[in-house]
Each structure stands twice: as structure tokens, then as C-alpha cells.
Chain A
């Protein structure tokens, strides 16, 4: 490293590092970020099978079916629109998971249109509302 230019070199290296970080982030975000959709969103956009997505909504009362192996289950996620999503999951559902309460299913669609969840999140917060409900609650507050 030439003595005179050392500070300039360091500045360029620092900027280079930030540029690499930005490029890496953009590349990673394009391929690896999962969309977060509510069932209603699926009326207007189609998600190809196999793409990572999160579906957030409410577990429809009466839709929960447990398989004979004792660890697989299926249920239907809906929101305040008519569109619903059938979900299947193998595992121990989170503590707050129950019919009629909020859930986020992380996984991808199978070719037959069924959503295969790799993970279920029921927010560990009794105040939790799925994303639309929060937005809706905010709208009501502003109107008031």
C-alpha cells in the first residue's frame, strides 16, 4: 500500500464493503424474502407452487382436522373476505394455536393448491392480531 494514498485506499475499501453489502442484500432479498399475504390477497395475485410465502389469517372454526398419526393436522385459514386457504401441517402447533384465533403459516403451495406449512406461528401475545386486523384497527382509530 503506497503511504500517501493510504487514507484514500481505506475510504475506497469502506465504500466497497458497503457496496458489496448492498449488492448481497439485493440479491438475497430477491430470492429469499417470503411474501406475507392474507387469504384475501390471493384473490388478486397468484403464487407459483414451491415459492416461499407466509399466509396470515384466522383459523376457521370447525375446519381443524387431525390425522390418525396424531401429529399431522389440516385446517382452513380465512380473513374477512370469502377467499380461504386450506393448510396442512406436520408438527406440534404453537401454544396459542386454536380455531378462531390468529395464525401465520410459513411454507409453500403444493401443486394441488393446498398450502403446506413448514412452520406455524401463533403470536405469543394475547394482544396479537393478524396484519390486516392491525391495519383495520388503525383505520378505525383514525376515523374516531
Chain B
């Protein structure tokens, strides 16, 4: 019954998506009836509710481990802990796509219920675009990826979930990522709506900004959580692998970051109109490209679990339809979007244009590197792999240049600035950067160019990013200025962590007998013993290690786990977080002569990477709250006047 209810809700939501598109086309006409807009709002709300109910039905099926449903039987097991039964609902293709459209529908419903600033016609057109996107992806679910399909005969038990995915990280990472990844669809729909009604102006930008900010904040959190999950769960000691699936979330983030900055120019200074529209279209296009890469099974990668060409073709068709449609509309309407207000090259706007250009270039480099091997294999059959050597060399210097400009940008004035006055404001951070350069060269002359530049920039930009607060009353500084400062500081902190990890990590690979010890960085790590232990649905061997560094020591217990369904072994790294870094230990295999392989890393300051990432997201949240408070206050002032 529950599966049939979920499927019915999904069909209903799909029908409502189409209805939303039809009603919106009526309401967006200049002489459209007022009742049409109200009904579009209501339809969008109910569509969100139906998608939410459908997803809730899937959660319930996984909770009860209803093995007559094919998806549950293939991805769950009655002995799994409850958390992983539930998170298993989105740890597979169909469930993940259902979560995707649910977020899309809920975002549309939120716009319908909360948005009050847009003109009625633009809002109707926006909701129409959101309904059109939703209808396509509902069709994909219903015709190519039905999550509620029943089995003729229920198996005695399920096949279980990939053990790598049985982790609290999986419960948190995909929903957060999707809130950002799919939430950015709202920006796309806003852009389409504004193009339809020719209302590309600061009012539109101010209406769009909170949605972009919210989606961007969630996307940032999702990427940071995913990076930490890969770091501790994969046991390779790395935090970013340039895996195509990671790039699939990075590309929308790059576009959304550019959009966030250009929409600010449009809202505050009425500049960069066409530019902002293009970025809004590109940002969600990148989300759809990412969905295509991950969900079509075109990649054979750690994260992808499907090989099914029919699905790939379906998503590709949707992708071409929506991106092509939006770009066509842009081409037809760009003539009617008047050029925005002017500004000088040396100005806040100029710096933001530079930020946009650099982000777009990085996006281009990552997109080329991700798609090229697929295109080459499709066209010639030749298989190549494009990995960290390419991405670090091509995107790394651009990213460093962009971060350097990020330090300077907020210290420039809007519209026009004096070069010499600006240079004076940047002098102190630049001096700190030079001091850091000298210090690193004196203390550790052997580190590579990129890590060296990274450390220097982190010092200079870290100071520059808090410089906008100098000479201001901290209590009277608006919350959204704090948000910018915190986000920019977060980038500098994350850069410091990444550079320190690249420059100073030490690694030891040994095979030890119980009682023997090995050195890694400042630590001496002793293997005290190895013992078998058992968990709810796995058994493991666990090594007991004690690490000492002159003073008192601490214990670590890395495991090698064996899961029974599906039969898989995984290494569970044991990580100890110290004030100045992390000790990362992985238990390998036993050797024939009774020793145990151990892989040990000392990673100084590595935690700064995710701390910085969390600061970036926090800055987004602060800005969102700050903008909201400012608007409420000015609305109150208007009401009093």
C-alpha cells in the first residue's frame, strides 16, 4: 500500500508540475487574470507537498524494510542499524533522484509561498519555469527510474547497502548537497521569469539574492561534509580527489559563487544585468550536467552505482531541452535588457568582474577536464584519465590569483577608487604576506611552489579579509558585512590548511609485530595488539595503537571491517585530532610472518581545511540573516512613515 501511495503521489506531483506550467503561462501574460497567479502559487505549494509525501513513503518503506519493493530489496537489509536503513533510501539511483525532485518541488513551493518582492507576472513566469523543470524530472523518475517498483516475489532478505555508504556522513552529505545543488534551480527559474517579462533590474536581483545565498550556503556545507567524509572513510588520507563526482558538485559551486557576487552588483549598483542572468542559467545547468554525469552511469567511479544507457539518454535530453531553451530565450531577449550603470575599472564592481572572470575560467578548466575523457572515449574509444596533475596545474594558479584578488576587492570603493588610496589600504596585508614568504623560505625552503604561495596568500588574505572591519564600530557593522568577512576569512583559513597539508604531511608505511613501534612526524606509534571485534552487521580486526610525542600519549584503534551483506571489507581509519593537526592511521593486512601493515600520516593543520569551509558557509548564513533583518527593518520604517 505504501509503495502504491508513494507512486500515486509522484504521478499527482507530475501532473501538478504540468498544470503549474500551463497556469503560469496564462498568469505571466500582461493582461493575465489575477486569479491565475493565486492558483499558480497554490499548485506549486501542493506539488511540493505531493513530492514530499512521495519521499516520505520511500523513507517509510526503507524504515520497515519492505522487501517486496525492488529498491529496498536491492539496497537494504533487515540487520542494518536504523540510521542506515533510512539513509539507504537515498544511497541508490532511484531514491537519490526522488530526493532530487523533492528538493526541486519544495524549493518551488517555498518560492510560491514566501516570495513577495517580485512583480506578479515575473513570479508567475518563475514558477512556470520551476514547474517545467520539475515535470521533466518527474517523467524521468516515472518512466526510467521508478523507486516504487514491486517484486513479483519478495526475497527472504535484502542485499544490503555498500558498506562505504554506511556512515553518518552519508546521512548528512547528500541531503545538504541537494538542497544547494537543486536549490540553485530557483535562480535559474528567476532568470527565465525575468527574461520572459523583461524585468531584469535591482528589484529582481534583491528578490533573487536570498535564494542564491541559501542554496550556496547549503552547497558549501554539502561539499565540505563530502570532503571530510571522503577523507576519513576512504582511508587514503586525501581530502579532494578531483573525482568527476566531486567536480560535479564543485562546478555548480563555482558558478553559484560567481552569481552570488554579480547579483550583489545588480542589487546594489544596477550593473552586470545580462551577466547575472547568464550566471544564473549556467549555475543550474552545471547542476544538471553534474546530475547527468553521476546518474547516467557514464562514469565508473567510487560514487556511481549504475550502468544504464537509457537513463543517460533521458537525462541528456532533459539537459539539452532546459539549457538550450534558457539560452534561446536569453538570445531572443538580450536586446531588451538595457545596459546597467557604468563603473571604473578600479572599483568594487571591477574587482567583482575580475572575481567572476576568474571563477568562470576555473569552471571552464574543470568542465573541460571532466568532460574531455568522456568525449574522447565516446568519439575514438581511447581511454585516458584526467586527475590531480591536470587540475592542480590548470586550476591551482587561477584559484590562487582569485584568492589574492579576493583579499583586495572588499577594500575598494563602489563605482570608482583611487589606485594609490587603494594601495595604501592593501599595504598592511601585503606586508604580512611578504613576511610570511620570508619566514617560510627561512624555515622550510624545500616546499613546493603552490604550497608556498598558498601559505603566503593565506597569511596576507587572512588579514585583508578582516580589514573591512578596521576603524568601524564592530557592534554597528551590519551582519551582512560580517558575513562577507567571515566567508572570505574562511577561504584563507581553508587555503592555509590545504597548503600546510600539501607541504608538511609526513607519511610512514610499515609492517609491525605487536610491541614494535614506528615514527611518523613528531610521533612514535606503537602497535600494542590486534584483536577481533564485532558490530551490528560486521566483524572486524582492530589494532590498538598508542602514539606518544615526548609528553603523554593517546590511543588509536583503526579497524579492518568485513561486512556480510554485501560481502565487502573496508578499512576504518582511526584519526586523532590534536591542536596542531591530525594523526591518521590505517590498518592494512596481516603479512605471512605475523606482522600487520600500518599506514600512518601526520598532517599538520589539516583540520583548517574543513574549519575554513564551515566558516565560508557560516558567512553565507550570516549574510542571509543580515539581509533579511535589514529588509524587515526598512519595511517597518515604510509602514511607520
Q: Which residues of A contact B (CB under 8 A)?
A: 1, 3, 6-7, 10, 13-14, 16-18, 20-22, 24-29, 31-37, 52, 54, 66, 69-71, 90-93, 95-96, 106, 123-128, 131, 134, 138
What distance in Å separates the Cβ of B75 from its nearest Cβ neighbour in chain A?
A: 12
Q: Which of the candidate stretches B377-385, B432-440, B609-617 sits at the interface with the other chain?
A: B377-385
B537 at the interface (CB under 8 A from A): no
B389 at the interface (CB under 8 A from A): yes
Q: What is the bound-complex CA distance between A33 and B377, given in angstroms?
A: 13
Q: Is the CB of A21 within 8 A of B597?
A: no
Q: Which residues of B contact A (CB under 8 A)?
A: 162, 164, 272, 274-275, 300, 302, 305, 307, 309, 339, 342-345, 350, 353, 357-358, 360-365, 368-369, 372-373, 382-387, 389-390, 393-394, 398, 509-511, 560, 566-571, 586, 588-589, 591-593, 595, 597, 599
Residue of A nearest to B398 (CB): A24
What distance in Å separates the Cβ of A64 from its nearest Cβ neighbour in chain B?
A: 11
What distance in Å separates the Cβ of B518 from its nearest Cβ neighbour in chain A?
A: 11
Q: What is the bound-complex CA distance between A37 and B445, given in angstroms?
A: 39
Q: Is the CB of A35 within 8 A of B384?
A: yes
Q: Is the CB of A71 within 8 A of B597?
A: yes
Q: Which of A3, A22, A36, A71 has the most CB of B within 10 A?
A: A71
Q: Is the CB of B394 within 8 A of A25?
A: yes
Q: Which of A14, A17, A37 has the most CB of B within 10 A?
A: A17
Q: Which of A37, A95, A128 has the most CB of B within 10 A?
A: A95
A-B contact pairs, 13 of them (CB 8 A): A18-B360, A22-B364, A24-B394, A29-B372, A32-B389, A54-B385, A66-B592, A91-B599, A92-B589, A92-B597, A93-B588, A106-B387, A124-B302
Q: Which residues of A contact B302 (CB under 8 A)?
A: 123-125
Residue of A nearest to B511 (CB): A70
- Give 10 nearest A-B pairs by CB, closest first: A70-B511, A21-B364, A25-B368, A36-B383, A92-B588, A28-B394, A32-B390, A32-B389, A70-B591, A17-B357
Q: Is the CB of A28 within 8 A of B393?
A: yes
Q: What is the bound-complex CA distance between A20 and B364, given in angstroms?
A: 9
What distance in Å separates the Cβ of B342 from its nearest Cβ neighbour in chain A?
A: 5
CB-CB under 8 A for A29 and B597, given A6-B339, A54-B385: no
What distance in Å separates the Cβ of B596 from its nearest Cβ neighbour in chain A?
A: 8
Q: Is the CB of A70 within 8 A of B510?
A: yes
Residue of A nearest to B381 (CB): A135
What distance in Å separates the Cβ of B243 from its nearest Cβ neighbour in chain A?
A: 11
Q: What is the bound-complex CA distance between A69 and B510, given in angstroms?
A: 8
Which secondary structure dominates chain B's binding surface? Answer: mixed
Q: Which residues of A contact B589 (CB under 8 A)?
A: 92-93
Among B162, B384, B393, contact of A36 (Cβ-Cβ < 8 Å): B384
Q: Is the CB of B586 within 8 A of A6?
A: no
Q: What is the bound-complex CA distance between A140 and B386, given in angstroms?
A: 29
What distance in Å separates the Cβ of A128 from its nearest Cβ neighbour in chain B?
A: 7
Q: Is the CB of A7 within 8 A of B509?
A: no
Q: Is the CB of A92 within 8 A of B586?
A: yes
Q: Is the CB of B342 within 8 A of A3?
A: yes
Among A10, A37, A52, A95, contact of B353 (Cβ-Cβ < 8 Å): A10
Q: Which residues of A contact B597 (CB under 8 A)?
A: 70-71, 92
Q: Is the CB of B509 within 8 A of A6?
A: no
Q: Is the CB of A21 within 8 A of B566?
A: no
Q: Which residues of A contact B398 (CB under 8 A)?
A: 24
CB-CB under 8 A for A96 and B568, given A33-B373, A33-B384, A69-B511: yes
Among A28, A124, A134, contact of B369 (Cβ-Cβ < 8 Å): A28
Q: Which residues of A contact B357 (CB under 8 A)?
A: 13-14, 16-17
Q: Which residues of B contact A25 (CB under 8 A)?
A: 364-365, 368-369, 372, 394
